[in-house]
Amino acid sequence: MSESAFHQYMRAEPEELEQTYSERVALGGYFSFYRFIEDFRDCLKTYADDDAVLVRRKLSRARELFPDPERFSPSWAAVWDEFELIFGIKNDVLAAIPVAERGGEWQILLDNPYSHQQVVCYPGLPFLEAAYLYGYFQRELKPNELLRLQRVSDLLSVNGSKAASLLPET
């Protein structure tokens, strides 16, 4: 499956074209379906407000066309549930944050204040990808964990120097 094949699926209107596309994917087996899933994941990362209706329809249709994704791999048994959860949460984020306020750098923080584990941070994200990750990480959020989506307002950054490192060269 090439990227253009996924875009053909996204543009396909008649159900017959979608059915033909799904048959091609099924004939291609694991790798073809893998490409389809990864392209769909990329679509979930990058779609914006104007594309939400199309993505919702195509996600629903993909579930119909591939009702048993675990036949390609057991790890995909819940892929449609995962994608629908991410889609719903990302849409909540899109509704909560006005377009005019989405610029700049965003980050995702994961923390459990009741454990000794380190805070996990995904910095330097564009808004749409940060909104996707906000949905992605909610899937397995534990009761005491905290997930934050935040825009970076001020930032100072520096890169270390190998000459100043305390670690020996290898």
User: What's the CA gap between 65 and 77, in Å, rounded?
Assistant: 14
Q: Taking residues 62-82, report their average pLDDT.
A: 96
Position 154 scores a pLDDT of 84
pLDDT at residue 166, as a whole number:
75
Confidence at residue 4, expressed as pLDDT on a 0 to 100 scale: 60
Torsion of CA 74, 79, 82, 83, to 10 degrees: 170
Domain ranges for the chain, please list them: 1-96, 98-154
The CB density around residue 31, as the number of other CB atoms within 10 Å, is 10
